[in-house]
Structure 1
């Protein structure tokens, strides 16, 4: 039996980098410290932050997340490998334990279709598709994480 223990992680715990599509060649690349440096095509750009209190929209250019796939009639997405692994641990678990009175944790805020046991296999297949998509596109993480 696989167990998931909600430790109160917030979505903001996964903000340090995102895997995005390169603006030039659409291959996966890390968006880290407001920079994109694509090893595939050489595209290199440093973005200037906007004056905003909201840290998820620090730039004025639309950057597309790479880790997206259709799943269960929705769009499944993850920001990076840690976020993807978190969701995978949650979905594949048979027992999900939550911290009492913690209603702002990422686990408590996941959409119902991800929490539903009936979607478990399809979501895990979607996660596998995303990992395969990274491998097929020769993704190399600047954070030295494994797929």
Structure 2
């Protein structure tokens, strides 16, 4: 368990724009790795193909478009505390884990767009910490499973 979480001020867009996104194939439910700055979703398992360039940056946020990216479900999502816990990628999941498992959380002052400042109440409540930590562990196991299989969007 981390003892301290220092908010870096990163927004949800940082995790969306600066890293690959993990999307669930709507046909076979396998993971598609949508490479950064790419607009073709292609599943190497079943051949699903979708050009998303015309959709613009459709970003999920808590309470709106939960677990959805470019009208596709995110691969890293799980029911938790009567809600849905989701992450765009490994980096986003690690950020959430750092926040949830910390005993002390510090935020940069006057940063209202950071991920930490925009987390829903249910994720901030200490009564949910154990359940959220377990859900994050399940997502990390799911993440490790794609290291063994290659599904890439080009």
Work out whether the TM-score is over 0.5.
Answer: yes
- Residues 23-53 of structure 1 deviation map (CA, whole Å, 9 limit, x = unaligned): 3311011123112232333444443324x5x
Distance 1:93 1:139, change over 3 A: farther
| 1:145 corresponding residue in structure 2 | none
Cα RMSD (Å): 2.3
Tell whether the 8 Å contact from 1:90 to 1:96 is kept in structure 2 after alignment. yes
For structure 1, which runs of at least 5 residues remain unmatched after alignment?
Answer: 143-147
Matching of residues 36-55 of structure 1 within 5 Å: 36-50=41-55, 55=57
Distance 1:119 1:141 in 2: 33
**Count of residue pairs the alignment pairs up:** 136
Bigger drift between 92-101 and 21-30 goes to: 21-30
Deviation at 1:121, TM superposition (A): 0.9
Distance 1:140 1:129 in 2: 20
Instruction: Give the structure-2-normalised TM-score.
Output: 0.76
- Residues 47-72 of structure 1 deviation map (CA, whole Å, 9 limit, x = unaligned): 3324x5xx226xxx731111111101
Consecutive aligned runs of 4 or more in structure 1 exceeding 4 Å deviation: 136-142
Instruction: Give the structure-1-normalised TM-score.
Output: 0.79
Q: Which has the higher contact order (CA 8 A, sep 6+)?
A: 2
Tell whether the 8 Å contact from 1:20 to 1:64 is kept in structure 2 after alignment. yes
Matching of residues 136-147 of structure 1 within 5 Å: 136=145, 138=148, 140=150
Matching of residues 89-128 of structure 1 within 5 Å: 89-128=98-137
| 2:4 corresponding residue in structure 1 | 3
For structure 2, which runs of at least 5 residues remain unmatched after alignment?
Answer: 60-69
